[in-house]
Amino acid sequence: MPTRKKIGLIGAGNIGGELARLVANKELGDVVLFDIASKENFAKGKALDLEQNGSVLGYDASIRGTSNWDDLQGADVLIITAGVPRKPGQSRDDLVATNLPIIRDVASNAKRVCPDAFVIVISNPLDAMVYEYKRVVGAPKEKVVGMAGVLDSARMQLFLAREAGVSVKDVRTTVLGGHGDDMVPVLGYCTINGIPVGQVIAKEKLDAIVERTRKGGGEIVGLMGTSAYYAPATSAVAMAEAYLLDQKRLLPSAVYLDGEYGYKDIFMGVPVVIGGKGVEKIVQIDLTDDEKTMLAKSAKSVQSVIDVVKKSA
C-alpha cells in the first residue's frame, strides 16, 4: 500500500511558508510545518491557510503546524530554514552566533526523530550550518546537502537572459564554491542552448553580471530589509523533488567534500547528481587556473566560518 511522503519544514517563516505552498501544490507529500513553541500558533495558522488554499488549487496534501518534534517522526525529507535572516548591512557570516545554537537544536532533535531523512539546509551561513548539521546528526554525506548553488545559478540565468534578450529557459549556468560574495560563477560552463555566453554577451557585461550574481542576495536584502524567499524556496523544492522522484538531476549543491576538487572535510557548492539515494555523484569539472584560484579563496572564507563552529563544538 503506497503511503504519502512526509516532508518536514523546520522554520515556518518566509521561506518555510513558501516551501509549504510549493510542496503541497506539487503534491510531493504531506507537510509538517515546524516552528518554536512561541510561534506554534503562527505555524498552525499558516498551515491551515495553506491547506484551505488546496480547496481552490485542487491539492489534497495535509499541512500541519506544530512545535512538537515528535510530529516529525519518520520524515522522509527535512528542509531547514530555522534561524534569523540578514538585515541590511549584515553579511551571512554575521549570523553565525545566532544561528549556530539553532542548527544544533534542530540537528539533535532530527537525530532522534528522523535520522534517515534526506536533509536540505537553507539557514545561513549556509556552508557552516550544513557542516554542523551533518556533524551533530552523524548522517551519511549522501543524505545532507545545502541549498545555494541552484539559487545563485538561477539569479545568474536571469541576468544573462535579460542581457542576451532570450528566454531564461535557454540559459544554463554553473555557480560553485561557498554561498558568499566569493562564490565562483564559472563562465566557461554558462551557455545559451549550448552556445557559450562569451559568444553572445560582451566581456564587460559578463563581468558586471558575475558581480551582480555574487551580490545577488545582498541586493534583495537592501531592497526588502530581509532575505529573499520565493526563489530560495523554489530552489530547495527542486532539490527535494529530485530526491523524492529519483530524477537524477545535476544541480549545484553544497555537499561534503572528501578530496573532490582537492578539498576535504568541508561543505561547498559543486555540481552533483541528486536522485533517490540522495547525492549519487559529485561531478568534477575542469577549471581554469583563475577559477581554481577563485575557488580556493571561496573555500578559505567557508573554512574560516567552519573553524569558528568547530572551536565552539
Residue 23-52 contact track with ligand A3D, rule CB under 6 A, x = bound? -----------xxx--x-------------
Q: Which three cell numbers stand for residue 171?
A: 540559459
Q: Is 185 helix (H, G, I), strand (E, B) or coil?
A: strand
Distance CA 37, CA 49 (A): 19
Piece in contact with ligand A3D (CB under 6 A), picked from 46-54, 57-65, 116-124, 182-190: 116-124
Piece in contact with ligand A3D (CB under 6 A), picked from 118-126, 184-192, 255-263, 294-302: 118-126
Residue from 29, 149, 178, 232 binding ligand A3D (CB under 6 A): 232
Distance CA 216, CA 78 (A): 26
> Contact at 8 Å (CB) between 23 and 240?
yes
Min separation Cβ 290 and ligand A3D, Å: 25
Annotation marks residue 179 as catalytic? yes
Size of interface with ligand A3D, in residues (CB under 6 A): 35
- Scan for cell 499541512, then name that residue: 63
Distance CA 146, CA 237 (A): 12
81 binding ligand A3D? (CB under 6 A) = yes
250, β-bridge pairs: 273
Residue from 69, 119, 123, 149 binding ligand A3D (CB under 6 A): 123
Q: 170 to 209, contacts with ligand A3D by CB under 6 A?
A: 179
269 binding ligand A3D? (CB under 6 A) = no
147 binding ligand A3D? (CB under 6 A) = yes
Ligand-binding annotation for 68, yes or no, is no
Give the closest residue to 55 by CA, choosing from 24, 100, 83. Answer: 24
Ligand-binding annotation for 124, yes or no, is yes
Q: Which three cell numbers stand for residue 158?
A: 536571469
> Contact at 8 Å (CB) between 165 and 112?
no
Distance CA 235, CA 243 (A): 13
Q: Which is nearer to ligand A3D, 44 or 191 (by Cβ)? A: 44
Q: Looking at residue 83, what DSSP letter applies?
A: S
The residues of the shown chain that bind ligand A3D, judged by CB under 6 A, are 10-16, 34-36, 39, 81-86, 95, 99, 102, 105-106, 122-124, 126, 147-148, 151, 179, 226-229, 232
Which residues carry out catalysis?
179
